Amino acid sequence: MQYINLQERKKRLRLIRFLFPFITALLFSVSFAPFHPFLRFFIFLAFIPFLWAVLHCKKRVFLTGFIFGFLSNVGVFWWISTLIVEDVSRILIASGVVVLILYLSFYWGLVALLISKVKKISPTIAIFSFPFFWISFEFFRSLTSQLGFPWCSVGYSLSNIPSMIQIASITGISGLGFSILIFNSLIYWSITRKHRKRMILGLCFFICLFILQAASGNLIISTAKKGETVSVSLVQANILPEVKRGNEVDERLSILRSLTLDSAIRGSDLIVWSETSIPCYYRESSGCIKRIKNLVKEIGIPLVAGAPEYVGERKAKKRFIYNSAFLISDAGKTIGRYRKIYLVPFGEHLPFDNTFPVLRKIHLGQGDFSPGREFTVLSQGRFKFSVLICFESIFPRLVRKFVRNGAELLVNITEDSWFGKTSGPYQHAEMAIMRAVENRVSVARCGNTGISMLVDPYGRVLKTSKIFERIIIEGEIPLRRGTSFYTRFGDLFAWVIVAISILLFIFPLVAAPFKVRKSTLAG
């Protein structure tokens, strides 16, 4: 009988080990856009199966974590395989997705390995070391644009629930992610306690912390003072990729002109076109650019628009192509320019191609763009603003520098039509919300095919569009009044987490000899 029970227990454990990675993957995937806000709260439970598996694993710990990561990342990033990219084969895109998912899953394996090392000294410390290790790796992924990819960090799961994300103005996205993961650790610790009182106490503590985070967020939002506002019109032209590829300049300008004239009637302070909306290289002598300037002069409202920029002669050895944004004054003159600093790896350039020029000879269908160098703040009348182009909005440290330089408003222009009708545009848009909260600055986001939206400094989406619709989003948004703790001190919280993680990593190495000596003496 005892043998049969033992066999049944082994079968049950095998089933649990098989199912738990899928459970974590499901809970993790539905915790991000475009899923309903109610489902986002599953992120507070998503890592409990992961913790159980890692803490009960005696061998192949890294592989266990890697499998959890692989399934979870497939659930979040599947849409990248559907990208519509000119001159790039489906096989190459699919291969890139696999490499990306393997790369991100590697971090899950590392976290699992580190937890298992700490477990040898103290299982309880191991449970609560999890948030520190995880956030440290997330933070490192956001430090560089070359291979960094902080897309869908854990904290972004709550980005459309304003009351839960106000802590980001102090700690940045790292603090929000840490609070989510510490909740996972606390719940796991509570439900695995043998003593019922400790379990109840742990769960009550979790509930109190959860209520405190939500209540404090609501209080901050409800007591926010109203300040000076500006009116912004976002032109979502919905020009499809096939039209862009066909280089239909007249058709594109006709659509943009019609929508812009409609925007002018509304009396905005600023009109925004999306990334690469101008269908030609931005040169003052270009007939295309002259037509756009005449349009701006006609409506008498400044325009911000994205365009490729070619610097140098075509036959010259030193020539540069930039993904840029230009500010045209109400008098029809170019009065400002920003060149994109963080380029999309493998899309706009190959990583480290400036360091190793030989990489420029490799052609995988990527662009040949050069990065900008200046954290430009553009001035328009009574307010100053900075432009973020495309995925620059997912890098907190980059965005913070623009605000530190004096930006009172952030304008994010993007071209997300390549994502199609997938999760991509929704995930991309929600990450811009967090930049608003971190820096207490409004964000005006204009996408060619969406999502376009106006976000206030507290992460509230005031107006938004659907994807693949032709529409103008217009409204009043507040200018930045003060400086947030995060803007002033940056990733101080994240660096503290990294320091503690290093101590947790060293802890087993230092404590192990003492544990061995203690067991020897006891023997």
Reduced to 3 states (helix: H, G, I; strand: E, B; else coil), residue 238 is coil
Residue 410 phi/psi, 5-degree rounding, is: -110, 130
What is the arrangement of strands in the sheet containing 303-311, beginning at the earlier edge strand? 334-339, 320-328, 303-311, 270-272, 229-236, 471-478
CA angle 50, 43, 173 (to 5 degrees): 105
Residue 59 known to be catalytic: no
Task: Check 117, 288, 340, 430 and give the catalytic one.
Answer: 340
Distance of alpha carbon 42 from alpha carbon 102, whole angstroms: 24
For the four alpha carbons of 23, 24, 27 and 32, in that order, the dihedral sign comes to negative
Q: Is 208 a catalytic residue?
A: no
Single out the residue of 428, 435, 425 nearest to residue 456, CA to CA: 435
Q: Are 236 and 274 in contact (CB under 8 A)?
A: yes
Strands 270-272 and 229-236: parallel
Active-site residue identified among 119, 152, 275, 309: 275
Amino acid at 376: T
Are 411 and 444 within 8 A, CB to CB? yes
Catalytic residue among 152, 288, 390, 446: 390
Q: HSE, CB side, 13 Å, CA atoms: give it for residue 24.
A: 26
What angle in degrees, to the nearest 10, is found between the helix axes of 2-29 and 61-77? 40
Those residues whose C-beta lies under 8 Å from the C-beta of residue 45, and which sit 6 or more positions away, are: 27, 184, 187
What is the phi/psi pair of residue 299, to 5°?
-85, -25
- Tell me phi and psi for residue 300, to 5 degrees: 70, 25
Residues 6+ apart with CB under 8 A from 96: 80, 346
Pair 329, 302: CB distance under 8 Å: yes
Which SS3 state, helix, strand or coil, does residue 508 take?
Answer: helix
Q: Is residue 390 flagged as an active site residue?
A: yes
Active site positions, annotated: 275, 340, 390
